[in-house]
Structure 1
Amino acid sequence: MSTDALAEKLAAALARHGSLAIAVSGGVDSMTLAATAHRRMPAGTVSMIHAVSPAVPQAATERVKARAAAEGWALSVTGAGEFDDPRYRANPVDRCYFCKSSLYDRIRAITPATIASGANLDDLGDYRPGLLAAAERDVVHPFVEAELAKADVRRLAHRLGLDEVAELPAQPCLASRVETGIAISAEDLAFIDETETRIAALLPAGATLRCRVTHAGIVIELDDAADAKVRETAEALCAGAGRRFAGVRPYKRGAAFLRAAP
């Protein structure tokens, strides 16, 4: 399907909703949805909500604010509030349910508009407890309605001129790097953000990188084998923070979620 046809399918899905409040995290999905809605929906019918918390990288917040200023989005920035919930901080395997519940409740307190997320077709086949929280709150997923997958979203991002996000690797929240059962703390999340920022500067643009807080210690996950500089940097950061460095391994999606075997 052509990129123009994808854009029209998404526009048709958006048109089914009179007004939308889009949860914008700063990744390619939500940024592409926000840009499309702003450009294709009638003026005054769409707003963007960005939630900040220790689990949101500062770079993502800066990205959202810069794009909002450039395009004139109606942007509200709010606290995500998930740290107020002890169930979230305990980091069970369904932690995302409590996170998304808090996020969508915060957005609902700001606006009566229909809440929209950037979930796409690929997300439906993954373990996403947050989708249950979304369903309970009647959150809509325009990419899913338009039958768009991640690759389609990236094509649309290029079409829209979103060069700063079009080829970004998937960037779930920083808490997703913490292995199930290890309590979520702002200190750990700040360490993860700093470590990923420092190591990303040593890697090619768009490389996948995760700094995992595991029961064995700090693990760095990469698409490809790490060179000596990456390992040295990780070891130095761990030593400076008094943390155990547990090595480098290949990236595995969702590796921090430890679920009991069925």
Structure 2
Amino acid sequence: MNTEAKAAAVRESLAERDGVLVAFSGGVDSSVVAALAHDALGDGAVACTAKSETLPEAELDDAKRVAEEIGIRHELAEFSELDSQAFVENDGERCYHCRTMRLSAMFDAARERGIETVCDGTNASDPGEGHRPGLRAVEELDAYSPLLDHDITKEEVREIARDYGLSVADKPSMACLSSRIPTGLEVTEERLSRVERAETLLRTWGFEQFRVRDHDGLARIEVAPDELERALDPDFARAARDHLTDIGFDHVTLDLDGYRTGSVSPANDDLDLDVEYPTSTD
């Protein structure tokens, strides 16, 4: 079955439901689900974004903008992951706790609106991508994953997004801010805030695929391999050191391995921290 036929099958499946609420981050996966749901159900489809301390403000702005592109009704469900001690402790199941809370907020929002089905953006490529405890929460709460159900891979998701003309068709994946804090180090509002501010700076400086990992006050910058040369520029090193220490980091480093998903998850705890940008007080 080609991608177009798979997309048609998703629309047909969604059209059989009285209504759906899409757990909507504004990333390419949930945006495609929202576009397909809106096609299938019109006003019977709602996009809902979980707003909490782990969602960067820029991502919330993106979600609002993409919902407008699609034409789907967009709403927010506000909660705090920091209310959960299990989440704050940041063990190997952090993503499970986070996803459980986020999806629970979605189901609560759906019930308030008389909607039975909550959809998420899990695609057919996700189960094979390493340590993904959040997928267990999707199964336990019985969210409907139409992309996974119809065997739509990540590349096919992007193809469908391009067919819809969505601006996020080629947007890099973006995990919540807590993924920047190594396993075993408590998730706090202070750490989340300085990571968000640091990543806002990198985005402002023109980097596209990156992370700033917070190793208890040591910032480890990861950028995509094709952006590494720019990050090695002495002017960038100076700016990164000065600005990131200003927002609360003690030291700033650049990881020569470059950006990679899950680099502070349990399977990747033993990492080399390369090329330190010393603080001005060193």
Q: Verify: 1:258 aligned to 2:266, yes or no.
A: yes
For residues 203 and 259 of structure 1, what CA distance do their matches in structure 2 show?
A: 30
Residue 215 and residue 239 in structure 1: after superposition, are their counterparts in 2 closer, same or farther (change >3 A)? closer
Against the structure 1 CA distance between its residues 230 and 31, is the aligned structure 2 distance closer, same or farther, given a 3 Å change threshold?
farther
Question: Is the aligned partner of 1:141 residue 2:142?
Answer: no
Aligned runs of 1:162-173 on 2, under 5 Å?
Answer: 162-163=166-167, 165-173=168-176
Cα pair 2:69 2:166 within 8 Å, conserved: no
- Structure 2: distance between partners of 1:260 and 1:189: 20
Rounded Cα–Cα distance in structure 2 between residues aligned with 1:170 and 1:13:
26
Alignment pair present for 1:230 and 2:229: no
Partner of 1:131: 135
Residue matched to 1:59: 58
Paired residues of 1:50 and 1:64 also in contact (CA < 8 A): yes
Deviations 1:58-114 (A, max 9, x none): 111112222334544222211133221111011111101111111122122222321
- Partner secondary structure for residue 43 of structure 1: helix
Give the Cα separation in 1 of the matches to 2:194 and 2:217. Answer: 16
- How far 1:179 moved relative to its partner? 0.6
1:1-12 matches, within 5 Å, as 3-12=3-12
Work out whether 1:100 is the aligned partner of 2:104: no
TM-fit CA distance, 1:6? 3.8
In structure 2, do the counterparts of structure 1 residues 170 and 3 end up closer, same or farther at CA, with 3 Å as the change threshold?
same
For normalisation by structure 1, the TM-score amounts to 0.90
Letter aligned with residue 11 of structure 1: R
**Contact 2:241–2:252 (Cα < 8 Å) also in 1:** no
1:196 partnered with 2:199: yes
Identity, in percent, stands at: 28
Q: C-alpha deviations, 1:147-202, integer Å up to 9, x for none?
A: 11111111111111112x11111101111111111111122112112211211233
2:156 aligns with one of 139, 152, 155:
152
The residue that corresponds to 1:219 in the other structure is: 220
Paired position in structure 2 for 1:91: 90
* TM-aligned CA deviation for residue 4 of structure 1: 2.7
Structure label with greater radius of gyration: 2
Q: 1:78–1:235: structure 2 CA closer, same or farther, 3 Å change rule?
A: same
| Closer/same/farther in 2, CA of residues 230 and 149 from structure 1, 3 Å limit | farther
SS at match of 1:75: strand
Q: How many Å apart are 1:214 and its aligned residue?
A: 2.0
- 1:117-150 CA distance string (max 9 Å, x none): 1011111112211111111111111100111111
